[in-house]
Amino acid sequence: MTQERNALGAYGERVAQAHLVAAGLELLDRNWRCSEGELDLVLREGDVLVVCEVKTRTGEGGAAPHEAITAAKLDRLLRLAERWQVEQGVRAPEVRIDLVAVHHPRRGAARVEHVRGLV
């Protein structure tokens, strides 16, 4: 089951990346990891550093992707964004946390929902 789940997550990240780049954001990093966690996608939109959490779901049942983004998760993403900037030698005047929900039905094309500015 874990292998299927990892494959689904990787698929969702590829779909999200394509969607965001097509919308004009510049990809800086993907699946950046450190001892504290992982950033799915790191992008830039103008002067804004955008950290994007990607949630991929199949079918219509189960919890909405938005429900997985708790206050604790947002705090952790902000800490990781700060650490990413330090390690990369980048200093953005603004950091934004976005969510991209990829809905992958059993049949048909994926639906992408981009929620800007969770923080």
Q: What local confidence, expressed as pLDDT, does residue 105 receive?
A: 82
pLDDT digits (tens, 9 = 90+) for 5-63: 888 889 999 999 999 999 999 999 999 999 999 999 999 999 999 999 999 988 765 56
2-115 CATH choice from 3.40.1350.10, 3.40.30.10, 3.90.870.10, 3.40.50.2000: 3.40.1350.10
Q: Say what the pTM is.
A: 0.89
Domain ranges of the chain: 2-115
Q: How far apart are CA 26 and CA 117, in angstroms?
A: 17
| Other C-beta atoms lying within 10 Å of the C-beta of residue 39 | 22
Cα dihedral across residues 59, 64, 68, 69: positive or negative:
positive
Q: What local confidence, expressed as pLDDT, does residue 44 receive?
A: 97
pLDDT digits (tens, 9 = 90+) for 76-110: 999 999 999 999 999 999 999 999 999 888 888 88
Q: What is the DSSP letter of 112?
A: E
